[in-house]
Amino acid sequence: MTPHSRGLVYGFAASVLWGTVFAAARYLVEVCGLDPFFTAAMRFCGGGLLLLCWVAMTGGGRDLVRSAQVTGRIILLGLVGTTAMGALVFISAGYTTSINSSLIVNSNAIFIAMFAVLIGERVKPVHFVGLLIGLIGCSIVMLGSAPPQPLPPSNNMLGGVTAIGAAVCWAAYTVFGKSTVRRYGGPAVSAWTMVAGGAALAGVALLRGGVRPLTAPELLAITYMALAPTAISMGLWYKALEYVESAVLGPSQYVAPLVSVLLGWVMLGEPLGVSFALGGVVTVIGVHLATRPAHGGEEPHQCAGDSTRSDG
């Protein structure tokens, strides 16, 4: 398997796992009534600690120590990619519909490509075309399977602006964390940023008075969220950045809405219509165009362990 393909496999795997988080989050926040910031704090703190343990047990202790030496950079990435992104998503959901919020946040792959240009990555026009096609495909899938909205949006403008903020935060976390990842290792950096960002979310939850003991089902759901769509997926995402450019990796997230809709069909019996088939095809075409190697062939394998990662 080429380095480019390996990186995309990691990215797609992370995105598939992210597509499973919404059912667990909906259960915890809407059914169990947990404070969303408390839920997010437990998800990211738990996921970060699990990933720290995994990295240490698999011989990555040196990476953990080395990456901890850039504490300021780690905290900044955690505040941007975990705390700010998570908070803005929840704020957006409070002012506009979940479909509007999800579609706007899902546009972060476009912001990733724009930021990538700023750090010197080569992004071909065909990649931008693929990004737009993929976003259109996601929109068809999500709008076609959208349930009726029980509550009208109270402020579409504010909800949209905060959703854009969340998309920009995730894009910045991905692009500007690339150099740190390639120097200190994706899983180690991801673990520390999740712990830092989760701790900040925990502080917000405490201030809101949203902390309470968990029941056994709630603890089970939190454990799943911390493990699969957090510790594993976030570790895979930053691991993927060791192999591919951020602008190429970003569009892999477009598979997450497809997974969410498929899970609704399998687990909840929600019907799959023509919109899913059409949107799925359009999304696949867009992702194919947007994830092609930027240099016309396979990208050189420059990752942690190669010349891009040093002790200096």
Q: Which pLDDT tens digit goes with each residue over 45-77?
A: 999 999 999 999 999 999 999 998 899 999 999
pTM for this one? 0.79
Name beta bridge partners: 304. 306
For residue 208, give both structure tokens. 């809101």
Name beta bridge partners: 306. 304
Q: Which pLDDT tens digit goes with each residue over 196-246?
A: 999 999 999 999 999 999 999 999 999 999 999 899 998 999 999 999 999
Distance, in Å, from the CA atom of 246 to the CA atom of 226, rounded to the nearest integer, reads 24
| Contacts of 256 by beta carbon, 8 Å cutoff, 6+ apart | 15, 16, 18, 19, 106
Distances (CA, A) of 99 to 85, 145, 149, 237, 257: 17, 10, 9, 24, 11
Q: Where are the domains of the chain?
A: 3-124+152-248
Residue 209 backbone zone (phi > 0: left; psi -120 to 50: alpha; other: beta): left
For residue 20, give both structure tokens. 């499973």
- The pLDDT value recorded for residue 238 is 92
The answer to whether the CB of 79 falls within 8 A of the CB of 197 is yes
For residue 233, give both structure tokens. 């997926």
- The pLDDT value recorded for residue 186 is 92
